[in-house]
Structure 1
Amino acid sequence: MTLSLTHVHGDRITVAHGAAGTELFSYVYRPEADWEAPKPYLHPVRTLSGGVVTDYRPNDHRWHKGLQLTASHLSGQNLWGGNTYVHGDGYLALPQKVGSMAHVSFERVEASGDRAVIAERLTWHPHGGELWAEEERRVEVRDVDPESGSWTLVWTSAVTNRRDEDLRFGSPTTHGRPAAGYTGLFWRGPRAFRDGRVFTAECAEPAGGDPMGSQAPWLAYVGEHDGRDGHATVVFEHAPSNDHLGEKGTHPAHWFVRSDPFAAVAPSWAFHEELVLPPGETLARSYRVVVADGAWDHARVAAHLEGLAW
């Protein structure tokens, strides 16, 4: 169950498992194209058997990169990338609104036994480059289980507002577009995962399509690979510590999820309403992502999560 870590300084950190050296993911932190809102991301992410469960720069959305933390509408800026949604006008190319998240330093980069940790400091910037926020991020691999064919990634981010006014986290939905509440932690699945099976802790068989905009402690996405036989299951779970006290409910977030025309999941910070972060205050969120070989059903996901500790 030994994990190993390779750091190409200025570029990426890759975590691998076992004697076979299966690369579970690469954490890429070098800056990329300005129009795509440069920020660190994980890609490729793989199952223990090597099946890829993320996509990178698909031709429909070049700024979709594996698993990454985003802010689609942030006090008038776009740290998501690409065109910006403007109510009444649709998506417009507004490069003056596209910001970035910048790597500052690593506080901890290590792998030992069945755990690996990447602890990083980042800064958030509007297009003009001012300092808007500082983030402390921790990406940890744990619970590697060859018997079940699964491993767990825990992503924790604490974002502190460094402006002298509120930071307002929103989404296209808070700005007028229905069913587009994406912001926060965002996963883009491979093209082969289109039309995959989606279910949540609250609903094993959602009626009428994806549970877009719903609330549940966890959500699972099952997709089938191209290029190799078999399926993979990716599960996203809120930490119990994630608080949300908005008008739309007390659960940490509402799910943004699509299986058509592409596979995507985000536990949105601001689906139906903006999240307001006052000056000097910190927004802290933790998520568990389970990456598993095979097509898991509701009972198996629930039992597996029950056996994991935060």
Structure 2
Amino acid sequence: MSAPHPHTAGAPDVPGTAGAVELRCGGRAVARYEYRPQLARRESPRPYLHPVRTLGGTAVTELRPADHVHHLGVSMAVPDVGGANFWGGRTFVRDRGPVELDNHGHQSHLGWPELREDGFTEEIAWQRDGRRLLTERRTVTARALEADRWALDFTTELTNVCGEELSVGSPATNGRPGAGYGGFFWRPPVGPRPPEVFTEDAEGEEAVHGSRAPWLAMATDAWTLVFAGATEDTRRDRWFVRAAEYPGVGSALAWDRRLPLPAGRPVVRRVVTGVADGRLERAAAAEVAARLTGKEAAR
């Protein structure tokens, strides 16, 4: 295990205390990772990245916005793991709708197998009422792309360790059509008008929400985010997209059917996100996506 780098912040590595590390890219601070946040149980406490910034310093994440206080920058948030809510807020119950339940889980930092200036590998326990359901190995890396853009590489490896069959669900699998959210989720800030969202061959929230596309972009005048699935399993997942009501992009683990989590067999997903200053048009976003997944030569 690498020693903590000099940008580690917060209290010592003691359960129940706050703690954060800073991610740097090319010598610049680009993100802060809160690995022991102090949050209410109803928000399903979990590690998150906020603020995440462009190389020019513009914030591209939001924390606990008034419209959804359980949206936490960039995080792994899942509304139904064997009935436990790791998303926060109300739980969608078939034939009842959103209901306040005492079923919130939390993700607890266990340690750093590796910790560097540009990223880390972290071990995380997904627990409910003191019982561990999953162990996650999370790897996050910041890497340079060009002078005005960088990439956040986020890999999650979830392993069922509870000794019983588990599966991941969503409001959609529980009866709310189109609400298949849960997994990697990025909450950008609200701007003066809704952001544009597009893929290589579709444009607009209605067209891209629920689509399977190798990459998806969300753009404003100030910033552009280009999300790319970096494994075959990730590319098979559908995109959850919000733009008009609030800005949000997620890679959905359980869009219309539950995802089994067999005991002892890891489920791996990897999303790489290009973070750029200013607005990128479709051609430029496609070039960023190709670099994110190492497919430039194939284009």
TM-score (norm 1): 0.86
- 2:274·2:292 contact (CA, 8 Å) conserved in 1? no
Which residue of 2 is the match for residue 64 of structure 1? 71
Which residue of 2 is the match for residue 134 of structure 1? 135
Q: Select which of 209, 233, 238 maps to 1:212.
A: 209
Q: Select which of 263, 287, 302 maps to 2:271.
A: 287
Compute the RMSD of aligned alpha carbons: 1.8
- Structure 2 counterpart of 1:63, one-letter code: H
- Secondary structure, aligned partner of 1:178: coil
- 1:101·1:125 contact (CA, 8 Å) conserved in 2? yes
- Structure 2 counterpart of 1:243, one-letter code: D
Identity %: 36
Which residue of 1 is the match for residue 198 of structure 2? 199
1:12 equivalent in alignment to 2:20: yes
After superposition, give the CA deviation of every residue in 1:201-234 in whole Å (9 maximum; x if it has no partner).
332x34x73511111011100024xxxxxx2000
Q: Select which of 100, 104, 126 maps to 2:106.
A: 100
193 and 119 in structure 1: CA distance in 2 versus 1, 3 angstrom threshold: farther
- Structure 2 counterpart of 1:53, one-letter code: V
171 and 92 in structure 1: CA distance in 2 versus 1, 3 angstrom threshold: same
1:234 equivalent in alignment to 2:225: yes
What 5-or-longer segments of structure 2 have no aligned partner? Answer: 12-18, 295-299
What are the residue-to-residue correspondences of 1:62-211 with 2, within 5 Å? 62-94=69-101, 96-111=102-117, 116-126=118-128, 128-146=129-147, 149-192=148-191, 194-203=193-202, 205-206=203-204, 209-211=206-208
Which residue of 1 is the match for residue 15 of structure 2? none
- 1:27·1:41 contact (CA, 8 Å) conserved in 2? yes
Q: Select which of 224, 233, 242 maps to 1:243.
A: 233
Distance (whole Å) between structure 1 residues aligned to residue 279 and residue 211 of structure 2: 23
- 1:233·1:292 contact (CA, 8 Å) conserved in 2? yes
Which residue of 2 is the match for residue 300 of structure 1? 284
Distance (whole Å) between structure 2 residues aligned to residue 309 and residue 254 of structure 1: 17
Q: Select which of 252, 260, 264 maps to 1:276.
A: 260
Distance (whole Å) between structure 1 residues aligned to residue 193 and residue 146 of structure 2: 27
194 and 215 in structure 1: CA distance in 2 versus 1, 3 angstrom threshold: farther
Which residue of 2 is the match for residue 227 of structure 1? none
Distance (whole Å) between structure 2 residues aligned to residue 66 and residue 209 of structure 1: 23
- Structure 1 counterpart of 2:31, one-letter code: F
- Structure 2 counterpart of 1:178, one-letter code: P
Distance (whole Å) between structure 2 residues aligned to residue 159 and residue 194 of structure 1: 36
- 1:173·1:180 contact (CA, 8 Å) conserved in 2? yes
1:25 equivalent in alignment to 2:31: yes
What 5-or-longer segments of structure 1 have no aligned partner? Answer: 225-230, 245-250
After superposition, give the CA deviation of every residue in 1:178-200 in whole Å (9 maximum; x if it has no partner).
22111000011101175210001
- Structure 1 counterpart of 2:214, one-letter code: P
257 and 308 in structure 1: CA distance in 2 versus 1, 3 angstrom threshold: closer
- 1:16·1:24 contact (CA, 8 Å) conserved in 2? yes
Distance (whole Å) between structure 1 residues aligned to residue 218 and residue 192 of structure 2: 9
After superposition, give the CA deviation of every residue in 1:256-309 in whole Å (9 maximum; x if it has no partner).
001021000001011111100111111011110110011101111112232345
- 1:139·1:155 contact (CA, 8 Å) conserved in 2? yes
Distance (whole Å) between structure 2 residues aligned to residue 242 and residue 9 of structure 1: 37
Which residue of 1 is the match for residue 246 of structure 2? 262
Return 194-203 or 163-172, whichever deviates more: 194-203
After superposition, give the CA deviation of every residue in 1:223-246 in whole Å (9 maximum; x if it has no partner).
24xxxxxx200011101x3427xx
5 and 14 in structure 1: CA distance in 2 versus 1, 3 angstrom threshold: farther
Distance (whole Å) between structure 2 residues aligned to residue 109 and residue 150 of structure 1: 23
Distance (whole Å) between structure 2 residues aligned to residue 109 and residue 68 of structure 1: 18
